[in-house]
Amino acid sequence: MKFAYKFSNLLGTVYHKGDIVFSSDGTTVICPVGNRITIYDLKNNKSSTLPVESRFNYNAIDLSPNGYILIAINEDGEAHVISMLSKMIIHKYRFKRPVKCIKFSPNGKYFAVCKENNVFIFDAPGLQTGDYNPFEMKRVYHDAIDDTRTLCWSFDSKILAVGSNDNTTRLYSMEKWANFKHCSLGSHSDMIIGCFFEKKSYDISTISKNGHLRIWECSIDPEDLVLYEPSKKREKKTIESDSEDDVDLDRAIEKTEKQKHQQEKKISKQTNENINETNSKNDVKKFYYKLLAKHYLSDEVKKSDHNAILTAAAYHSETRILVAGFSNGSFFLYELPEVNMIHSLSISQQAISSIALNSSGDWIALGCTQMGQLLVWEWQSETYAMKQQGHSNNMNCLAYSPDGQYIVTGGDDGKVKLWNTLTGFCTVTFTEHTSAVSHVLFSHNRKFIVSASLDGTARAYDLTRYRNFKTLTSPRPVQFSCLALDSSDEFLAAGGQDFFDIYLWSMKLGTLLEIMSGHEGPVSSLSFNPSAASTALASVSWDKTLKLWNAIENGSSHETIELLSDGLCVVHKPNGEEVAVSTLDGQIRFFDCKTSLETGNIEGRNDLGSGRSDTDLITAKKNLESKAFTTLCYSADGTCILAGGHSKNT
């Protein structure tokens, strides 16, 4: 049997943290999801994850104007240049420090990076010059007192605005100009969150963390910038005498020539001064900014939440729409320069961490780190183009549908989510559980799903109407740790974590049929025999036993098989003749269901991998002893078994 697995897609999480970027056509959203990058096609309603990964989570990304190059920088300061055509990393660069922001220039020739209190400008990799020289540094600026955090290029890529934590916005240029060197804009009392140039103008707007918006007017137009030309050194003329006899004659000639030159210089100086004065008055204009208006955007928010602060902002220069997101989950749309509020909406109770606008300005992408939420909102029609949210906490369990079209997941946040494997989107979320979900299952006829939770309930959800139609409980509250459905979908079994019993319900009636006792430790896994003619049940527990039950016919009578270590998972072979059990010592054991004899053994501890991190207080050998397989699955033909557990390897 040949295996050719390759990474396909990432489900369970739609956004972690970092920048959100729209493609040039405005129909695709690119956002980091942990140490990977996911692309959401809003036009075709599909998602895909790039087959690249990093050792640390990505937090700063930007796409080149032509859409061919994506630069992603992780929390450790390692930058990856990714080709969007081949979907591969083509270059790596280490900044050795965390990077706050990265932006390509509109002409695609440069990109700027904020690192600590510095701003680095590099030649952009691409096809502009015909040469591929990634990360060739052009300029470095060290003027900021505190860390720089936001960037904005002018429309002609000549001027770069940099906002920093020292409440100041500084402007730099890529070339030397006669009437502009650098400029600093103050007037803020908190760190700068965003700075935005206007369309075909050097007018700029700056917004700070406390919601203060400043609108600045530039004194010159873009065409008034004058290139700096250094003064040319005049060549000194020397006269060499050929012989000593001609010295006096040469001196006399020099005196007469000097007198003539002095008179000519006086005349030329007067004319040049007059010309320069007229040119300076008419052509060269001084570059400076004038503060036009001050606005306080947080006043509307602080009426409901006095502790709300501005956490993200984005601006669309063509439509002059400003979007401001706050720490209480609300965001506002303003029309500049009058700063008229167009719309206000709240997506959650958590802070909005990133905002992006597409090229047409119709769609607004909003990311929330704490909720794992990603929204694309069309503000003109006030509808959602995409609304996705992953598990806000750890994911504990998952199950494939029999046809492979859906995946159901359960997490510590108490939510059960149904994911479409073709599109990669979550289709429905069930929130009835009040505690962590420990196990989920698909029915064999794919009409419903079942979940168990630590809140003491097992729930069944209808996949036609998307509702919770059955809630199964025990006589006394029990934290359920595992589930099993028989082949006919008539009986549901659940194992207890705090009380070491197995509970059996009828799915049609919803009544408790049997309580099977015998285990002396938490029940970790259950498995019904997949054969249609059998209702045999296998269970493993932390009491180092494997038990074989047939509760429908024999009640609580069972057969016990002793294990060498705590049982973690049990699964039946597709033909129902064999069970595989994983134990805490890293082994997988196989038993015959009829004779209860051990038929095979896999020593998997060395395959789990080992190592020792900087924070480990134990040796690598002791660390290996804690590795084990926590889940098992047979292949369809029963010739192979897939195991996963406390390891990065599967």
3-state helix, strand, coil split of the chain in percent (to 5) is 10, 45, 45
pLDDT at residue 299 tops 90: no
C-alpha to C-alpha distance for 213 and 188, rounded to whole angstroms:
9
Question: For position 242, what pLDDT does the model report?
Answer: 46
Residue 208: give the domain boundaries.
Answer: 158-228+285-296
pLDDT at residue 351 tops 60: yes
Question: For position 281, what pLDDT does the model report?
Answer: 45
pLDDT in tens, 138-150: 999 998 999 999 9
Burial class (CB in 10 A: 0-12, 13-18, 19+), 438: buried
Beta bridge partners of 177: 227
Q: How confident is the model at residue 245 (pLDDT cuts 50, 70, 90)?
A: very low
Q: How confident is the model at residue 234 (pLDDT cuts 50, 70, 90)?
A: very low
Question: Can you tell me whether residue 300 is helix, strand or coil?
Answer: helix
pLDDT in tens, 251-293: 555 555 666 566 655 555 554 554 444 444 455 788 899 999 9
What is the average per-residue pLDDT within 7-18? 89
pLDDT at residue 624 tops 80: no
Look at the chain and report how many structural domains it folds into: 1
pLDDT at residue 615 tops 70: no
Average pLDDT, whole number, for the chain? 86
Does 180 map to a domain?
yes
Residue 65, φ and ψ in degrees, nearest 5: -60, -30
Range from 19-28, 34-43, 275-284 carrying the lowest mean pLDDT: 275-284
- Token match 């760190």: residue? 191
C-alpha 274: how far from its chain's center? 61
Does 317 map to a domain?
no
Does 218 map to a domain?
yes
Does 241 map to a domain?
no
CA distances for 283 relative to 177, 232, 378, 567, angstroms: 13, 21, 45, 85
pLDDT in tens, 412-430: 999 999 999 999 999 999 9
C-alpha to C-alpha distance for 287 and 126, rounded to whole angstroms:
33
Handedness of CA 413, 399, 492, 507 (dihedral sign): positive
pLDDT at residue 124 tops 70: yes
What is the average per-residue pLDDT within 458-484? 93
Burial class (CB in 10 A: 0-12, 13-18, 19+), 209: buried
Cβ(474)–Cβ(497) under 8 Å?
no
DSSP labels, 316-347: ETTTTEEEEEETTSEEEEEETTTTEEEEEEE-
C-alpha to C-alpha distance for 31 and 445, rounded to whole angstroms:
36
pLDDT in tens, 445-456: 889 999 999 999
Question: For position 12, what pLDDT does the model report?
Answer: 86
Which is more confident, 511 or 554?
511
Strand order, beta sheet including 289-296: 192-197, 204-208, 212-218, 289-296
What is the average per-residue pLDDT within 208-214? 93
Residues of the chain with pLDDT > 70, as a percent, come to 86
Does 331 map to a domain?
no
Strands 558-562 and 204-208: unpaired
pLDDT at residue 634 tops 90: yes
DSSP labels, 268-285: HHHHHHHHHHHHHHHT--
Does 509 map to a domain?
no
Q: How confident is the model at residue 2 (pLDDT cuts 50, 70, 90)?
A: low
pLDDT at residue 235 tops 50: no
Cβ(546)–Cβ(523) under 8 Å?
no
Question: For position 618, what pLDDT does the model report?
Answer: 59
DSSP labels, 529-594: ---TT---EEEEETTSEEEEE-HHHHTT-EEEEE-SS-EEEEEE-TTSSEEEEEETTSEEEEEETT
Token pair belonging to 331: 């965001």
Q: How confident is the model at residue 366 (pLDDT cuts 50, 70, 90)?
A: very high
Does 307 map to a domain?
no
User: Is the model's pTM score more than 0.75?
Assistant: yes
Does 478 map to a domain?
no
Question: For position 136, what pLDDT does the model report?
Answer: 85
Which residue type sits at 314?
A: A
pLDDT at residue 626 tops 70: no
Question: For position 610, what pLDDT does the model report?
Answer: 59
Question: Can you tell me whether residue 53 is helix, strand or coil?
Answer: coil
